[in-house]
Amino acid sequence: MRGYAAEMLAKQVRQGALDSDFGAGDKELFLDYLRSEGFLTRGDFKYIGAEGRSPDINPGAGLDPGPGKESKPYPLGDILKSRTWQTLRSISNLDQQRTMFEPIGGMDRLPAGFVRNMKPIIKLQHVVEKISQTPTSVTVAYTDGKGQKGSITADYCVCTIPLSVLRGIDLQVSPKFKEAIGGVSYALVGKIGLQMKERFWETNHQIYGGHVYVDDPVIGTISLPSTGWLSQKGVILGFYPHGAAAARMSGMTLAARKAYALAAGQKVFPEYTAANDGSFSIAWHRVPFNMGGWAEWTEEGRAKYYPTLLEPDGRLYLAGEHLSYLTGWQEGGIESAWQQIAKLHKRAMA
Ligand SMILES: Cc1cc2nc3c(=O)[nH]c(=O)nc-3n(C[C@H](O)[C@H](O)[C@H](O)COP(=O)(O)OP(=O)(O)OC[C@H]3O[C@@H](n4cnc5c(N)ncnc54)[C@H](O)[C@@H]3O)c2cc1C
């Protein structure tokens, strides 16, 4: 895509169509840039394939030059219709950059670190059912894992339950606050992990990590693991649908989801189905304690409801990814918590 676009632009520039846009000497520099950006030929600025493409024949020893035999580019029309160029853009976004940190062992190692240090005060399997307030205290009522009811009373409460769940909980807050809690929708999203007996994408195809973008929105992205290279097994992300496609996926049985994912991957890798020995899929909008992947604020919601939720209602403070501009990222949850704790600290100190 970059090659063809650079070739077309170079043609226009060389014909003088854009002369009025260049300062003195800039036209030649711009053509140099296009030649470099699009991997164009020296003399006539043509795109005929590029070093960046996988060669049909890899460079070898002796009389095997390899790099001289780049594979033939796909026709422009095919590339346009595939829309793969959308991906070139997305990897330049702030939150999709190429250098991203991954905790060893997976994203949940971050909360696991908090749990390690806070274990004595965390109560697991306690489902919050009601939050009530007096002028001097907040009481959180719950049912625990054994069905026992109980409550905790404190001076203040910082509540990090997602708004999608919180709107179904009995809350003693102002009508304005309650309305604001209902003022945001949550992302429909799903994933499936497919465990493979062998890492055929590495051993047979020399692909180490990365994504396969699929135009069926129920599949969306197939992702290959970026850790454990050349080890025995591996888990592939078999689909990652959003919105209506995620709703469609989540209406399928677990077996049907797996079959759907395998059929899609099979079109890309001939080893896919035979190598599979297990799967696990999840639809976040159907998990009772998530009810969605992350908050999706509209511009209107940000203006009308968001500011209300940033302020405490009585002695109740909210925090979480939903109260940040980094929704869908742990960083959003952590930054939001810092902000709310700072407010609470200031108030308590006063
Ligand atoms: C598919 C997907 C991929 C993601 N990928 C990444 C990623 O690669 N990197 C990244 O940084 N972030 C990622 N995120 C986002 C990240 O998971 C969230 O931003 C983060 O977990 C939000 O933290 P939080 O504390 O606001 O909410 P949560 O982590 O949702 O915490 C809320 C807690 O409240 C609990 N709860 C809910 N209801 C009740 C109740 N009634 N009583 C008691 N407890 C309750 C829940 O069980 C949960 O533990 C991803 C999210 C999804 C869905």
Of 233, 253, 286, the domain-final residue: 286
* Tokens standing for residue 342: 């700072």
pLDDT of residue 22: 95
In angstroms, the CA 171 to CA 177 distance is 10
Of 242, 262, 286, the domain-final residue: 286
Using the Cα atoms of residue 296, residue 299, residue 301 and residue 303 in order, give the sign of their dihedral: positive
Ligand 1 centroid to Cα of residue 179, in Å, is 22
Has residue 215 been placed in a domain?
Answer: yes
Q: Model-level pTM?
A: 0.89
Has residue 91 been placed in a domain?
Answer: no
Has residue 64 been placed in a domain?
Answer: no
Return the residue whose CA atom lies nearest to atom 13 of ligand 1. Answer: 329
Residues 298 and 182 grouped into a single domain:
yes
Query: How much is the CA Rg of the chain, to the nearest whole Å?
Result: 27
Return the residue whose CA atom lies nearest to atom 6 of ligand 1. Answer: 329
Residues 167 and 306 grouped into a single domain:
yes
Has residue 138 been placed in a domain?
Answer: yes
Return the residue whose CA atom lies nearest to atom 9 of ligand 1. Answer: 329
Angle at 219 between CA 218 and CA 223, to 5 degrees: 155
Return the residue whose CA atom lies nearest to atom 53 of ligand 1. Answer: 293
Return the residue whose CA atom lies nearest to atom 50 of ligand 1. Answer: 328
End-to-end CA, the chain: 60
In angstroms, the CA 321 to CA 314 distance is 21
Of the residues 129, 192, 289, which should be mutated to test ligand 1's pocket, given the most ligand atoms within 8 Å of the CB? Answer: 289
CATH number of the CATH domain containing 259: 3.90.660.10
Cα–Cα nearest to 86, from 208, 262, 220 = 220
In angstroms, the CA 212 to CA 297 distance is 29
pLDDT in tens, 69-101: 667 888 999 999 988 787 777 777 787 777 778
Residue written as token pair 């209902």: 182
Residue-number span of the structural domain to which 194 is assigned: 190-286
Ligand 1 centroid to Cα of residue 127, in Å, is 15
Has residue 108 been placed in a domain?
Answer: no
Binding-site residues, ligand 1, Cβ < 6 A: 107, 127-128, 160-162, 165, 189, 191, 284, 289-290, 293-294, 320-321, 328-333
Atom of ligand 1 nearest to the CA of 165: 38
CATH number of the CATH domain containing 32: 1.20.1440.240
Q: Tens place of pLDDT for every residue, the chain, 350 residues?
A: 889 999 999 999 999 999 999 999 999 999 999 999 999 999 999 998 776 677 777 778 887 766 656 678 889 999 999 887 877 777 777 877 777 788 888 889 999 999 999 988 999 999 999 999 999 999 999 999 999 999 999 999 999 999 999 999 999 999 999 999 999 999 999 999 999 999 999 999 999 999 998 889 999 999 999 889 999 999 999 999 999 999 999 999 999 999 999 999 999 999 999 999 999 999 999 999 999 999 999 999 999 999 999 999 999 999 999 999 999 999 999 999 999 999 999 999 99
Residues 74 and 139 grouped into a single domain:
no
Residues 305 and 156 grouped into a single domain:
yes
Ligand 1 centroid to Cα of residue 136, in Å, is 30
Of 286, 302, 333, the domain-final residue: 286
pLDDT of residue 132: 98
Residues 269 and 236 grouped into a single domain:
yes
Count how many domains the chain has. 3
Atom of ligand 1 nearest to the CA of 129: 41
Atom of ligand 1 nearest to the CA of 327: 19
Of the residues 280, 330, 331, which should be mutated to test ligand 1's pocket, given the most ligand atoms within 8 Å of the CB? Answer: 330
Atom of ligand 1 nearest to the CA of 336: 26
Residues 177 and 304 grouped into a single domain:
yes
Residues 6 and 146 grouped into a single domain:
no
Has residue 90 been placed in a domain?
Answer: no
Residues 313 and 282 grouped into a single domain:
no
Return the residue whose CA atom lies nearest to atom 10 of ligand 1. Answer: 329
Give the burial class of 106: count Cβ atoms within 10 A of its Cβ; 0-12 exposed, 13-18 middle, 19 or more buried. Answer: exposed
Has residue 239 been placed in a domain?
Answer: yes
pLDDT of residue 70: 67
Residues 49 and 16 grouped into a single domain:
yes
Atom of ligand 1 nearest to the CA of 169: 41
In angstroms, the CA 327 to CA 187 distance is 10
Has residue 345 been placed in a domain?
Answer: yes
Residues 329 and 282 grouped into a single domain:
no
pLDDT of residue 62: 84
* Tokens standing for residue 172: 């003693």
Ligand 1 centroid to Cα of residue 237, in Å, is 19
Structural contact between residues 313 and 307, judged by C-beta atoms closer than 8 angstroms: no
| Pairing mode, strands 185-186 and 295-296 | antiparallel
Considering only the C-alpha atoms of the chain, give the largest distance between any 2 of them, rounded to a whole number of Å: 85
Residues 26 and 148 grouped into a single domain:
no
* Tokens standing for residue 80: 């346009």
Atom of ligand 1 nearest to the CA of 187: 53
Ligand 1 centroid to Cα of residue 321, in Å, is 8
DSSP 21-86: G--TTHHHHHHHHHHHHTT--TTT------TTSPBSS---STT---GGGBPPPPPHHHHHHHTTHH
Residues 298 and 181 grouped into a single domain:
yes
pLDDT of residue 50: 72
Of the residues 127, 285, 294, 317, which should be mutated to test ligand 1's pocket, given the most ligand atoms within 8 Å of the CB? Answer: 294
| Pairing mode, strands 157-159 and 316-318 | parallel
Length of the chain: 350
CATH number of the CATH domain containing 148: 3.50.50.60
